[in-house]
A and B are shown apart, each in its own frame.
Chain A
Amino acid sequence: MPAHAGENVTFGFWVYLMSDCVLFAALFATYAVLQGATFGGPTAYDLFDLPFVFVETMLLLTSSFTMGLAVIAAREARVGKTWPSGPERRLLLLLAVTLFLGLAFLGMEVYEFWHLIAAGEGPTRSAFLSAFFTLVGTHGLHVALGAIWMCVVGAHIWFNGITTGAVRKLTILSLFWHFLDVIWICIFTFVYLFGGLAL
Protein backbone atom coordinates (compact mmCIF):
# COMPACT_ATOMS: atom_id res chain seq x y z
CA MET A 1 0.00 0.00 0.00
CA PRO A 2 1.36 3.49 -0.85
CA ALA A 3 2.37 5.68 2.06
CA HIS A 4 -0.52 8.11 1.67
CA ALA A 5 -3.23 5.46 1.29
CA GLY A 6 -3.82 5.29 5.05
CA GLU A 7 -4.42 9.03 5.24
CA ASN A 8 -6.81 8.86 2.29
CA VAL A 9 -8.80 6.07 3.93
CA THR A 10 -9.08 8.11 7.12
CA PHE A 11 -10.17 11.21 5.21
CA GLY A 12 -12.73 9.20 3.21
CA PHE A 13 -14.18 7.88 6.44
CA TRP A 14 -14.25 11.40 7.86
CA VAL A 15 -16.33 12.52 4.87
CA TYR A 16 -18.75 9.64 5.59
CA LEU A 17 -19.02 10.83 9.21
CA MET A 18 -19.84 14.33 8.03
CA SER A 19 -22.64 12.97 5.83
CA ASP A 20 -23.88 11.00 8.83
CA CYS A 21 -24.01 14.36 10.66
CA VAL A 22 -26.44 15.56 8.02
CA LEU A 23 -28.59 12.43 8.50
CA PHE A 24 -28.79 13.11 12.23
CA ALA A 25 -29.47 16.80 11.57
CA ALA A 26 -32.59 15.81 9.60
CA LEU A 27 -33.73 13.57 12.48
CA PHE A 28 -33.04 16.31 15.06
CA ALA A 29 -35.00 18.81 12.96
CA THR A 30 -37.91 16.34 12.75
CA TYR A 31 -37.84 15.82 16.50
CA ALA A 32 -37.66 19.55 17.21
CA VAL A 33 -40.68 20.21 14.97
CA LEU A 34 -42.79 17.31 16.29
CA GLN A 35 -41.79 17.59 19.95
CA GLY A 36 -45.08 19.19 20.97
CA ALA A 37 -47.29 16.92 18.84
CA THR A 38 -48.15 14.51 21.64
CA PHE A 39 -51.72 13.76 20.46
CA GLY A 40 -53.00 13.82 24.04
CA GLY A 41 -50.33 11.30 25.04
CA PRO A 42 -47.38 11.72 27.41
CA THR A 43 -44.93 14.59 26.92
CA ALA A 44 -41.14 14.37 27.12
CA TYR A 45 -41.37 15.68 30.69
CA ASP A 46 -43.69 12.82 31.72
CA LEU A 47 -41.56 10.07 30.20
CA PHE A 48 -37.88 10.59 30.69
CA ASP A 49 -35.98 9.42 33.73
CA LEU A 50 -33.00 11.77 34.12
CA PRO A 51 -30.78 9.72 36.51
CA PHE A 52 -31.16 6.79 34.08
CA VAL A 53 -30.00 8.96 31.16
CA PHE A 54 -27.15 10.33 33.28
CA VAL A 55 -25.79 6.80 33.83
CA GLU A 56 -26.18 6.06 30.10
CA THR A 57 -24.20 9.22 29.28
CA MET A 58 -21.42 8.33 31.73
CA LEU A 59 -21.11 4.85 30.20
CA LEU A 60 -20.76 6.25 26.68
CA LEU A 61 -18.34 9.02 27.71
CA THR A 62 -16.12 6.53 29.53
CA SER A 63 -16.19 4.13 26.58
CA SER A 64 -15.04 6.98 24.33
CA PHE A 65 -12.10 7.55 26.69
CA THR A 66 -11.07 3.87 26.81
CA MET A 67 -11.32 3.76 23.01
CA GLY A 68 -8.87 6.66 22.86
CA LEU A 69 -6.52 4.78 25.21
CA ALA A 70 -6.76 1.72 22.94
CA VAL A 71 -5.61 3.80 19.96
CA ILE A 72 -2.67 5.12 22.00
CA ALA A 73 -1.77 1.56 23.04
CA ALA A 74 -1.83 0.51 19.37
CA ARG A 75 0.38 3.42 18.27
CA GLU A 76 2.86 2.73 21.05
CA ALA A 77 3.32 -0.86 19.92
CA ARG A 78 6.07 -1.34 17.38
CA VAL A 79 4.20 -1.65 14.15
CA GLY A 80 5.04 -4.42 11.68
CA LYS A 81 7.33 -6.53 13.88
CA THR A 82 6.86 -9.39 16.27
CA TRP A 83 5.70 -8.11 19.59
CA PRO A 84 5.99 -8.92 23.10
CA SER A 85 2.49 -9.77 24.30
CA GLY A 86 2.43 -6.60 26.45
CA PRO A 87 0.93 -3.86 24.28
CA GLU A 88 -1.23 -6.34 22.40
CA ARG A 89 -2.80 -7.64 25.57
CA ARG A 90 -3.31 -4.09 26.88
CA LEU A 91 -4.93 -3.07 23.61
CA LEU A 92 -7.30 -6.04 23.59
CA LEU A 93 -8.19 -5.43 27.22
CA LEU A 94 -9.01 -1.76 26.50
CA LEU A 95 -11.10 -2.78 23.50
CA ALA A 96 -12.96 -5.31 25.66
CA VAL A 97 -13.70 -2.63 28.28
CA THR A 98 -14.92 -0.27 25.54
CA LEU A 99 -17.12 -3.01 24.11
CA PHE A 100 -18.53 -3.82 27.54
CA LEU A 101 -19.38 -0.15 28.23
CA GLY A 102 -20.93 0.20 24.77
CA LEU A 103 -23.05 -2.90 25.26
CA ALA A 104 -24.12 -1.71 28.74
CA PHE A 105 -25.24 1.58 27.16
CA LEU A 106 -27.10 -0.32 24.47
CA GLY A 107 -28.71 -2.60 27.05
CA MET A 108 -30.01 0.43 28.98
CA GLU A 109 -31.41 1.94 25.81
CA VAL A 110 -33.15 -1.29 24.80
CA TYR A 111 -34.58 -1.49 28.35
CA GLU A 112 -35.89 2.09 28.07
CA PHE A 113 -37.50 1.38 24.68
CA TRP A 114 -38.99 -1.90 25.85
CA HIS A 115 -40.35 -0.18 28.96
CA LEU A 116 -42.00 2.57 26.89
CA ILE A 117 -43.51 0.15 24.37
CA ALA A 118 -44.80 -2.15 27.16
CA ALA A 119 -46.55 0.87 28.73
CA GLY A 120 -48.32 1.56 25.42
CA GLU A 121 -46.09 4.52 24.68
CA GLY A 122 -44.37 3.12 21.60
CA PRO A 123 -43.62 4.92 18.34
CA THR A 124 -47.26 4.58 17.21
CA ARG A 125 -48.60 6.62 20.16
CA SER A 126 -47.89 10.12 18.82
CA ALA A 127 -45.80 12.05 16.31
CA PHE A 128 -43.56 13.09 19.21
CA LEU A 129 -42.86 9.46 20.14
CA SER A 130 -42.31 8.45 16.48
CA ALA A 131 -39.68 11.19 16.16
CA PHE A 132 -38.12 10.22 19.50
CA PHE A 133 -37.83 6.52 18.64
CA THR A 134 -36.42 7.30 15.18
CA LEU A 135 -33.78 9.71 16.46
CA VAL A 136 -32.61 7.75 19.52
CA GLY A 137 -33.07 4.41 17.73
CA THR A 138 -30.84 5.50 14.82
CA HIS A 139 -28.13 6.43 17.30
CA GLY A 140 -28.58 3.07 19.05
CA LEU A 141 -28.28 1.27 15.72
CA HIS A 142 -25.00 3.06 15.08
CA VAL A 143 -23.73 1.98 18.51
CA ALA A 144 -24.76 -1.63 17.78
CA LEU A 145 -22.89 -1.56 14.44
CA GLY A 146 -19.89 -0.03 16.20
CA ALA A 147 -19.94 -2.88 18.73
CA ILE A 148 -19.95 -5.51 15.94
CA TRP A 149 -17.16 -3.65 14.15
CA MET A 150 -15.18 -3.58 17.40
CA CYS A 151 -15.44 -7.36 17.65
CA VAL A 152 -14.14 -7.69 14.06
CA VAL A 153 -11.17 -5.37 14.68
CA GLY A 154 -10.49 -7.13 18.00
CA ALA A 155 -10.43 -10.53 16.25
CA HIS A 156 -8.12 -9.11 13.58
CA ILE A 157 -5.65 -7.97 16.26
CA TRP A 158 -6.06 -11.23 18.19
CA PHE A 159 -5.04 -13.33 15.17
CA ASN A 160 -2.69 -11.03 13.23
CA GLY A 161 -1.20 -8.83 15.92
CA ILE A 162 -0.88 -5.05 15.78
CA THR A 163 -0.06 -4.59 12.09
CA THR A 164 -0.08 -1.26 10.22
CA GLY A 165 -3.46 -2.25 8.80
CA ALA A 166 -4.80 -3.02 12.27
CA VAL A 167 -3.74 0.40 13.55
CA ARG A 168 -5.49 2.06 10.61
CA LYS A 169 -8.68 0.03 11.19
CA LEU A 170 -8.62 0.89 14.86
CA THR A 171 -8.08 4.60 14.12
CA ILE A 172 -11.13 4.69 11.85
CA LEU A 173 -13.23 2.77 14.36
CA SER A 174 -12.20 5.21 17.09
CA LEU A 175 -13.33 8.15 14.92
CA PHE A 176 -16.72 6.46 14.51
CA TRP A 177 -17.00 5.78 18.24
CA HIS A 178 -16.08 9.37 19.26
CA PHE A 179 -18.52 10.66 16.66
CA LEU A 180 -21.36 8.65 18.29
CA ASP A 181 -20.41 10.27 21.58
CA VAL A 182 -20.76 13.71 19.97
CA ILE A 183 -24.22 12.81 18.63
CA TRP A 184 -25.24 11.50 22.05
CA ILE A 185 -24.33 14.85 23.66
CA CYS A 186 -26.82 16.53 21.31
CA ILE A 187 -29.43 13.87 22.12
CA PHE A 188 -29.11 14.12 25.90
CA THR A 189 -29.19 17.93 25.75
CA PHE A 190 -31.94 18.55 23.20
CA VAL A 191 -34.11 15.51 23.91
CA TYR A 192 -33.70 14.59 27.57
CA LEU A 193 -32.57 17.80 29.32
CA PHE A 194 -34.90 20.03 27.27
CA GLY A 195 -37.63 17.47 27.96
CA GLY A 196 -36.92 17.90 31.69
CA LEU A 197 -37.42 21.65 31.30
CA ALA A 198 -41.04 21.03 30.25
CA LEU A 199 -40.83 23.79 27.66
Chain B
Amino acid sequence: MKSFKAYLTGFIFSIVLTVIAFGLLHFHIKSGHVVPPHELMVPLLILLAVAQLFIQLVFFLHLGQEEKPRWNSVAFAFAAFVVLVIVGGSLWIMNNIDHGQNDLSEIYPTGEITPQGQDD
Protein backbone atom coordinates (compact mmCIF):
# COMPACT_ATOMS: atom_id res chain seq x y z
CA MET B 1 0.00 0.00 0.00
CA LYS B 2 3.02 2.24 0.53
CA SER B 3 3.78 2.27 -3.18
CA PHE B 4 0.15 3.09 -3.98
CA LYS B 5 0.51 6.18 -1.82
CA ALA B 6 3.69 7.12 -3.70
CA TYR B 7 1.97 6.81 -7.08
CA LEU B 8 -1.07 8.75 -5.90
CA THR B 9 1.10 11.54 -4.44
CA GLY B 10 3.14 11.73 -7.64
CA PHE B 11 0.01 11.78 -9.78
CA ILE B 12 -1.70 14.56 -7.79
CA PHE B 13 1.47 16.68 -7.72
CA SER B 14 2.06 16.32 -11.45
CA ILE B 15 -1.57 17.20 -12.27
CA VAL B 16 -1.39 20.29 -10.04
CA LEU B 17 1.93 21.42 -11.54
CA THR B 18 0.59 20.94 -15.08
CA VAL B 19 -2.57 22.94 -14.32
CA ILE B 20 -0.45 25.75 -12.78
CA ALA B 21 1.86 25.86 -15.83
CA PHE B 22 -0.99 25.99 -18.36
CA GLY B 23 -3.00 28.36 -16.14
CA LEU B 24 -0.10 30.82 -15.85
CA LEU B 25 0.34 30.89 -19.61
CA HIS B 26 -3.42 31.28 -20.12
CA PHE B 27 -3.55 34.38 -17.88
CA HIS B 28 -0.35 35.66 -19.44
CA ILE B 29 -1.83 35.56 -22.94
CA LYS B 30 -5.27 36.80 -21.80
CA SER B 31 -3.70 39.84 -20.14
CA GLY B 32 -1.84 40.74 -23.32
CA HIS B 33 1.52 39.33 -22.15
CA VAL B 34 1.58 41.51 -19.01
CA VAL B 35 0.50 39.37 -16.00
CA PRO B 36 2.66 37.53 -14.98
CA PRO B 37 5.43 39.73 -16.49
CA HIS B 38 6.97 38.49 -19.72
CA GLU B 39 10.52 38.20 -18.36
CA LEU B 40 9.27 36.20 -15.36
CA MET B 41 7.43 33.59 -17.45
CA VAL B 42 10.51 31.70 -18.72
CA PRO B 43 12.06 31.10 -15.27
CA LEU B 44 8.61 30.26 -13.87
CA LEU B 45 7.87 27.66 -16.55
CA ILE B 46 11.36 26.15 -16.24
CA LEU B 47 10.94 25.95 -12.46
CA LEU B 48 7.58 24.19 -12.85
CA ALA B 49 9.06 21.75 -15.40
CA VAL B 50 12.01 20.93 -13.14
CA ALA B 51 9.67 20.37 -10.17
CA GLN B 52 7.52 18.15 -12.38
CA LEU B 53 10.54 16.14 -13.57
CA PHE B 54 11.69 15.70 -9.98
CA ILE B 55 8.23 14.45 -8.91
CA GLN B 56 8.05 11.98 -11.82
CA LEU B 57 11.60 10.68 -11.34
CA VAL B 58 11.13 10.11 -7.60
CA PHE B 59 7.53 8.88 -7.39
CA PHE B 60 7.13 7.05 -10.73
CA LEU B 61 10.65 6.00 -11.74
CA HIS B 62 11.77 5.48 -8.10
CA LEU B 63 15.10 7.17 -8.72
CA GLY B 64 17.54 7.03 -5.81
CA GLN B 65 15.47 4.45 -3.95
CA GLU B 66 17.36 1.33 -5.01
CA GLU B 67 19.88 -0.51 -2.83
CA LYS B 68 23.53 0.49 -2.78
CA PRO B 69 25.55 0.64 -4.96
CA ARG B 70 23.12 2.95 -6.74
CA TRP B 71 23.99 2.20 -10.35
CA ASN B 72 20.68 3.53 -11.62
CA SER B 73 21.39 6.93 -10.10
CA VAL B 74 24.96 6.89 -11.42
CA ALA B 75 23.73 6.13 -14.95
CA PHE B 76 21.12 8.86 -14.59
CA ALA B 77 23.67 11.41 -13.40
CA PHE B 78 25.90 10.65 -16.37
CA ALA B 79 22.97 10.92 -18.81
CA ALA B 80 21.94 14.24 -17.22
CA PHE B 81 25.49 15.51 -17.71
CA VAL B 82 25.53 14.48 -21.40
CA VAL B 83 22.09 16.06 -21.94
CA LEU B 84 23.34 19.30 -20.37
CA VAL B 85 26.42 19.34 -22.60
CA ILE B 86 24.43 18.64 -25.77
CA VAL B 87 21.61 21.14 -25.19
CA GLY B 88 23.63 23.83 -23.39
CA GLY B 89 26.58 23.51 -25.76
CA SER B 90 24.41 23.66 -28.89
CA LEU B 91 22.58 26.77 -27.72
CA TRP B 92 25.78 28.44 -26.57
CA ILE B 93 27.61 27.86 -29.84
CA MET B 94 24.70 28.57 -32.16
CA ASN B 95 23.79 31.81 -30.37
CA ASN B 96 27.37 33.07 -30.61
CA ILE B 97 28.08 31.95 -34.14
CA ASP B 98 27.56 35.47 -35.54
CA HIS B 99 30.55 36.77 -33.60
CA GLY B 100 32.95 34.76 -35.72
CA GLN B 101 31.56 36.16 -38.98
CA ASN B 102 32.46 39.39 -40.74
CA ASP B 103 29.65 41.88 -40.40
CA LEU B 104 28.53 42.30 -44.00
CA SER B 105 26.66 45.54 -43.26
CA GLU B 106 29.97 47.22 -42.44
CA ILE B 107 31.53 46.18 -45.71
CA TYR B 108 28.45 46.83 -47.85
CA PRO B 109 26.53 49.61 -46.08
CA THR B 110 23.89 49.85 -48.80
CA GLY B 111 22.94 46.23 -48.29
CA GLU B 112 24.04 45.21 -51.76
CA ILE B 113 26.28 42.21 -52.08
CA THR B 114 27.99 43.54 -55.22
CA PRO B 115 30.69 46.06 -54.23
CA GLN B 116 30.03 49.59 -55.48
CA GLY B 117 32.36 51.79 -57.49
CA GLN B 118 34.02 49.05 -59.46
CA ASP B 119 35.08 49.52 -63.04
CA ASP B 120 33.28 47.36 -65.52
Contacts and interface: CB of A to CB of B under 8 A. Distances in A.
Interface stretch (A25-33, A141-149, A162-170): A25-33
Interface string A175-190: 1001101100110111
A75 B61 CA distance: 16
A138 to B, nearest CB: 15
A196 interface: yes
A47 interface: no
Interface in A78-127: none
Nearest to B87: A29
Contact of A64 (B29, B46, B60, B83): B60
A173 to B, nearest CB: 13
B23 to A, nearest CB: 10
Given A33-B94, A58-B15, A64-B60, A197 B87 contact: no
B33 A182 contact: no
A75 B76 CA distance: 25
A73 to B, nearest CB: 10
Interface string A53-77: 0100110011011001100100100
A18 B56 CA distance: 15
A185 B53 contact: yes
A25 B82 contact: yes
A189 B79 contact: no
Interface string B12-37: 00110010011001101100010000
A22 B22 CA distance: 27
Nearest to A71: B3
B11 A197 contact: no
The prevalent SS among residues of A at the interface is: helix
Contact of B22 (A14, A61, A193): A193
B91 interface: yes
A158 interface: no
A198 B33 contact: yes
B75 interface: yes
Contacts of A196: 25, 28-29
B57 A19 contact: no
A175 B61 contact: yes
A19 B79 contact: yes
A193 B79 contact: no
A93 to B, nearest CB: 16
Contacts of B45: 189, 193-194, 197
A11 interface: yes
Interface in B57-95: 57, 60-61, 71-72, 75-76, 78-80, 82-83, 86-87, 89-91, 94
Given A65-B11, A196-B25, 7 more contacts: A50-B25, A65-B7, A68-B7, A178-B60, A181-B56, A182-B53, A197-B42
6 contacts: A11-B71, A29-B90, A32-B87, A68-B7, A185-B56, A194-B45
Leading 9 A-B pairs by shortest Cβ distance: A18-B79, A29-B90, A25-B83, A68-B7, A189-B49, A65-B11, A178-B60, A25-B86, A33-B94
